[in-house]
Amino acid sequence: MRSNDAVARLLVEFADRLEATGVEYKPNAYRRAAENVADYPEPIDQLAETGEDAVAEIDRVGDAIASKIVEYVETGSIDELEDLRDSLPVEMAALTSVEGVGPKTVGTLYEALGITTLDELETAAEAGEIQEVTGFGAKTEQNIRENIPFARQSQQRERLGAARPVADDLCAYLDTLDTVARVDVAGSIRRWKDTIGDVDVLVASDDSEAVVAGFTEWGDADDVIEAGSHKASLRADGVRVDLRVVVPEEFGAALQYFTGSKDHNVRLRNRAIARDYKLNEYGLFDISDLDTDAADTTSDTADSQRGGVKLAGQSEAAMYAELGLAWIPPELREDTGEIDAAAEGTLPTLVETGDINGDCHTHSEWSDGGNSIEEMVAAAADRGDDFHCVTDHATGPGIIEGIGLDDDALREQMVTVDAVAADSDITVFHGVETNIAADGSLSTDDELLAELDIVVASPHSALDQDTDAATDRLCQAATHPSVDVIGHPTGRLLNSRAGLSVDMTRLAETAAAADTALEINATPARLDLAGEAVRAVVEAGGTVAINTDAHSPAELDNRRYGVKTARRGWVEPTDVLNAKPSSELRAFLH
């Protein structure tokens, strides 16, 4: 199987390797093609089977790149890429995951020092060899050394947005097997953590061997890592998937146990022990009538773990109910007060995707989006939204020359947005994503900001400030009279950039007092704010905006990642700016 993401990853690697060898322009063509391939709504391998011409129809994919995609789909490799790999035998993705190390740097360091892996990079940095290379200095070497641990950690974790589609496809497939009674994901992916170790899938069945056989025959699997009688692992789209099969009577217990988190489970187990119960992956058991030997919980044979009177096991809700608790949504299971809330009946009514009425942060071809305003508005209407905000980039710090709109262009855009709005069934708001400079000032003229329907202000530059400076900067923007939303507040990129370090309590309180929403950016590479930071906004009585920051209609589908992240921060619908109907939204906007 060659998924669109797999093809896109290969094109990015192609671009990196070309750039490392000093080729100009061409790498960017490959990167743009990769983006459009990843976003393409149909399976690229099927398209490739109909020929190069069909593939070349994809936006920004020219004949040359199309022929390479077809070559890959047909043969599993691309000759020219293999040559590039041979001439520069480095672990490109691992090395470029170090902030400040781009493909060109990788090429230079390979030529000068023969560095091919993260370990070799670290050794060279510690030995002071990098600062000796022409074009590098002590400061660069120190930066590289400091950024390696973050890069190493990110190499071991997968972005939620990369893993979740694999999990969804696999669960849908397993559901079609006769021997599968129930299937669900467990582990951190069920809690919608922003990055995950691997995908845990749990199946209820009375015929585990048939399920394992079906699992290993999944057409999307790249390779099967191992297969036993109740467990198996495979890799698909670069993601490791671990399957576990249990009998239906124990599915709820296993689902609870393997969903975690560890801290949540420890607290839950203590609650069970206090009631003379035993809680484990097989069920919840009353052991008050057992003699001490039989109740020995240190023995780890499955039979001894099932001793006592079984109280629950088939359903997760019953497991919680027998412990005197309301069922706790997986997103909350981090041991941050959810068990007490479940005992007291004060769990939040969490926001759901259906509560969102429109997007407050999107782009069009006026800046770096791929589609016209008309197409984006139509796509939002198709999805059932009540409103859509057009917020293209303003020119300014952090925005590539030629991408952002200056004040004149924004005024010109007003006319176009008005025309589209007049023709649309949904409400269209005209706004901007302006830039918050390092000192907290904005890129767009105050008078113009006051005229626009909505103003999103985001940090796009100087993302390495210290906590005080970063918090001052964002607070100043949040209290600007025209700013409605602070976009992707930390500027982090999962697995590649840590982003601003922010005093979230101070920012949340300042923003709440100024009636400015803080964004949960649903772009899978961002998920910014993170769930833990969102909790601070809720506690300050503030408002969040759950936005996709879509640059194409397909990216509007990322909304669910933002909603799940919001749920991890205990967000209720009343906390969400874009859960308001458009009339109320208009009243909130400054």
Say how far apart CA 325 and CA 318 lie, in whole Å.
Answer: 9
> 539 - beta bridge partners?
none
Choose among 302, 338, 295, 300: nearest CA to 320.
Answer: 338
Choose among 189, 188, 224, 230: nearest CA to 206.
Answer: 230
User: At closest approach, how far in Å is the CB of 376 from Zn ion?
Assistant: 13
Task: Decide: residue 213, CB within 10 A, 0-12 exposed, 13-18 middle, 19+ buried.
Answer: middle
Choose among 493, 547, 489, 494: nearest CA to 518.
Answer: 489
User: At closest approach, how far in Å is the CB of 391 from Zn ion?
Assistant: 7
Scan residues 418-437 and list those touching Zn ion (CB under 5 A).
433
User: At closest approach, how far in Å is the CB of 390 from Zn ion?
Assistant: 11
Binding characters for Zn ion, 13-52, by CB under 5 A (x = yes): ----------------------------------------
Given 3-state DSSP classes, what are the helix, strand and coil percentages for the chain, each rounded to the nearest 5? Answer: 50, 15, 35
User: At closest approach, how far in Å is the CB of 542 from Zn ion?
Assistant: 20
User: At closest approach, how far in Å is the CB of 494 from Zn ion?
Assistant: 15
- Strands 427-435 and 454-458 turn out to be parallel
> 199 - beta bridge partners?
241
User: At closest approach, how far in Å is the CB of 580 from Zn ion?
Assistant: 21
Q: By C-beta, is 259 or 458 nearer to Zn ion? A: 458
Q: By C-beta, is 141 or 549 nearer to Zn ion? A: 549
Q: Which two tokens stand for residue 375?
A: 């197409």
User: At closest approach, how far in Å is the CB of 519 from Zn ion?
Assistant: 9
User: At closest approach, how far in Å is the CB of 41 from Zn ion?
Assistant: 21
Q: By C-beta, is 5 or 433 nearer to Zn ion? A: 433
Say how far apart CA 15 and CA 93 lie, in whole Å.
Answer: 12
Q: By C-beta, is 45 or 433 nearer to Zn ion? A: 433
Based on the shown chain and the rule CB under 5 A, indicate whether residue 528 belongs to the binding site for Zn ion: no
Q: By C-beta, is 338 or 549 nearer to Zn ion? A: 549
Q: CA of 483: how far to CAs of 317, 324, 492, 507, 541, in Å?
A: 43, 45, 21, 14, 18
User: At closest approach, how far in Å is the CB of 362 from Zn ion?
Assistant: 8
Q: CA of 23: how far to CAs of 20, 83, 115, 404, 452, in Å?
A: 7, 15, 20, 27, 42
Contact 344, 326 (CB under 8 A): no
Q: By C-beta, is 458 or 565 nearer to Zn ion? A: 458
Based on the shown chain and the rule CB under 5 A, indicate whether residue 519 belongs to the binding site for Zn ion: no
User: At closest approach, how far in Å is the CB of 386 from Zn ion?
Assistant: 21
Question: Of 528, 549, 555, 575, which one interacts with Zn ion (CB under 5 A)?
Answer: 549
Count of other CB atoms within 10 angstroms of residue 165: 17
Scan residues 317-376 and list those touching Zn ion (CB under 5 A).
none
User: At closest approach, how far in Å is the CB of 348 from Zn ion?
Assistant: 28
Strands (DSSP E) found in 347-460: 358-359, 387-393, 427-435, 454-458
Q: Cα angle at 435 between 433 and 438, to 5 degrees?
A: 160
Q: By C-beta, is 318 or 442 nearer to Zn ion? A: 442
Region near Zn ion per CB under 5 A, out of 58-66, 160-168, 454-462, 471-479: 454-462
Based on the shown chain and the rule CB under 5 A, indicate whether residue 443 belongs to the binding site for Zn ion: no
Return phi, psi of residue 526, to 5°.
-105, -65
Say how far apart CA 232 and CA 224 lie, in whole Å.
Answer: 8
Q: By C-beta, is 81 or 399 nearer to Zn ion? A: 399
Q: By C-beta, is 185 or 456 nearer to Zn ion? A: 456
Binding characters for Zn ion, 456-475, by CB under 5 A (x = yes): --x-----------------
CA atoms within 13 A on the CB side of 141: 17
Reported as type and span, the H/E element at residue 478 is helix 467-478
Based on the shown chain and the rule CB under 5 A, indicate whether residue 555 belongs to the binding site for Zn ion: no
Region near Zn ion per CB under 5 A, out of 250-258, 328-336, 452-460, 574-582: 452-460
Region near Zn ion per CB under 5 A, out of 42-50, 115-123, 461-469, 541-549: 541-549
Q: By C-beta, is 19 or 549 nearer to Zn ion? A: 549
User: At closest approach, how far in Å is the CB of 3 from Zn ion?
Assistant: 26
Count of other CB atoms within 10 angstroms of residue 580: 21
- Number of residues binding to Zn ion, judged by CB under 5 A: 3
Q: By C-beta, is 444 or 458 nearer to Zn ion? A: 458
Say how far apart CA 333 and CA 19 lie, in whole Å.
Answer: 44
Q: By C-beta, is 55 or 389 nearer to Zn ion? A: 389
Region near Zn ion per CB under 5 A, out of 42-50, 405-413, 451-459, 463-471: 451-459
User: Using CB under 5 A as the criterion, which residues of the chain lie in contact with Zn ion when the complex forms?
Assistant: 433, 458, 549
